[in-house]
Amino acid sequence: MNKTGLVYRSPQNKRYSIETLFSPLDQDDEIEKIVLPENLNSFGNLIRIIRFGVKIKPKLIHITGDVHYLAFLLFWKKSIITIHDLNHYEELQGIRKFIYGLIWFYLPLKAAKKIVAISPYTKEQLQKHFRIKEQKIVVIPNSFLKFETTASDVVEKDKNNFQILCIGGNTNKNIGRLIEAIEGVEGVSVRIIGKQNPTIMDQLKSKKINYSIVSDLSRTELEAEYKASDVLYFASTKEGFGLPILEAQSLGIPVITSTTTAMPYVAGTGAILVDPYNIESIRKALLLLINKEINSDDLKEKGYKNTERFSESNFIKAYKNLYKSML
């Protein structure tokens, strides 16, 4: 049997988002799960990765993300690379950008037989920066892990408090503009998942925002956070995809997200779209929900419908069809 090798990064950094995303695939009998033993952070580890790589048996390998360089190191194999975003690359400058782009993108992308972009925006980024031919790129959107909701999992919301949920601590999450947007709005609190930088912490305190922060949550705890909130604020300045949008929609939580990058594609018609650089745009969207000037039930139904586009079955089928076309 011709198996496809599904290659994951080393678990040493304790990051599991890519692993969770592709877990429905690696349980298939026609797919062999392969986990790299090291991170590429020293010459010694490079040698160990190469030694490990030459022992990989499948002729077709799918590099799930974050270890793109493996396509170049194993140039004699047929390889597929899933590219999640190029945001870090775009933030770099000078020689660091050149070296990072060469090792993580240019050489691996040249060696790969096929490239999967998780959204049309990621495809645009690839073509803009590395001039990848149209026929080499396939767009396969991410699926998302649904929460195991039961009838008894009811979370009571505080009727006297409008809770805004924010997820993530990177600057692109645009929490600073949210703080500006809700300054002076009564009966509002911000619930943040993920550690924040000192600038955001100072801003929350100086603007006298009612806030709380949690991190390192289990899936059950994350589900409870969504259900306890009145809206997900995900008006990032840039996203390669945006899984929290789908998670919130699947639970019937209204979403405010951005008109930029991949977010309109992911949200569909099941969200309120705002200009992430315009504080007044963010404020107006929140007030629509706070003052119940928008049909939230209609928004929820559109959100539920939108998540069907990103079903696990569609995700598995798209990748398996790609594998078959290359074996």
Query: What does the pLDDT look like over 238-269, one tens digit per residue?
Result: 999 999 999 999 999 999 999 999 999 999 99
* Same domain? 133 vs 183: no
Proportion of the chain above pLDDT 70, given as a percent: 98
* Same domain? 183 vs 97: no
pLDDT at position 150 over 70? no
Whether residue 238 is contained in a domain is answered as: yes
pLDDT at position 149 over 90? no
Determine the structural domain holding residue 203 and report its residue range: 162-309
Whether residue 99 is contained in a domain is answered as: yes
Whether residue 11 is contained in a domain is answered as: yes
* Same domain? 170 vs 137: no
Q: What is the mean pLDDT of residues 126-138?
A: 94
pTM greater than the 0.75 cutoff:
yes
The predicted pLDDT at position 143 comes to 94
Mean pLDDT of the chain: 93
Proportion of the chain above pLDDT 90, given as a percent: 84
* Same domain? 177 vs 302: yes
* Same domain? 304 vs 322: no
* Same domain? 28 vs 134: yes
Contact predicate 164/231, CB 8 Å: yes
* Same domain? 135 vs 225: no
Q: What is the mean pLDDT of residues 107-130?
A: 95
Q: What is the mean pLDDT of residues 157-169?
A: 89
* Same domain? 215 vs 289: yes
d(CA 57, CA 4): 9
Whether residue 150 is contained in a domain is answered as: no
d(CA 293, CA 5): 51
Predicted confidence band of residue 12 (pLDDT cuts 50, 70, 90): confident
Contact predicate 232/245, CB 8 Å: yes
Q: 17-21, 25-29, 158-162, 230-234: which has the minimum mean pLDDT?
A: 158-162
Whether residue 152 is contained in a domain is answered as: no
d(CA 69, CA 103): 6
* Same domain? 273 vs 321: no
Whether residue 274 is contained in a domain is answered as: yes
* Same domain? 170 vs 112: no
pLDDT at position 289 over 60? yes
Backbone angles phi, psi at 255, to 5 degrees: -125, 135
Whether residue 191 is contained in a domain is answered as: yes
Number of folded domains in the chain?
A: 2
Predicted confidence band of residue 154 (pLDDT cuts 50, 70, 90): low
* Same domain? 131 vs 191: no
Predicted confidence band of residue 1 (pLDDT cuts 50, 70, 90): low
Predicted confidence band of residue 153 (pLDDT cuts 50, 70, 90): low
Whether residue 251 is contained in a domain is answered as: yes
The predicted pLDDT at position 151 comes to 45
The predicted pLDDT at position 226 comes to 95
| pLDDT one-digit tens code per residue, 47-95 | 999 999 999 999 999 999 999 999 999 999 999 999 999 989 999 999 9
Question: Hey, what are 238's tokens?
Answer: 């840039």
Read off the CATH number of the domain in which 127 is found. 3.40.50.2000
Predicted confidence band of residue 26 (pLDDT cuts 50, 70, 90): confident
**CA distance to 45, 47, 73, 198, 307, per residue, from 41 (Å):** 7, 11, 15, 28, 38
The predicted pLDDT at position 146 comes to 83
* Same domain? 171 vs 129: no
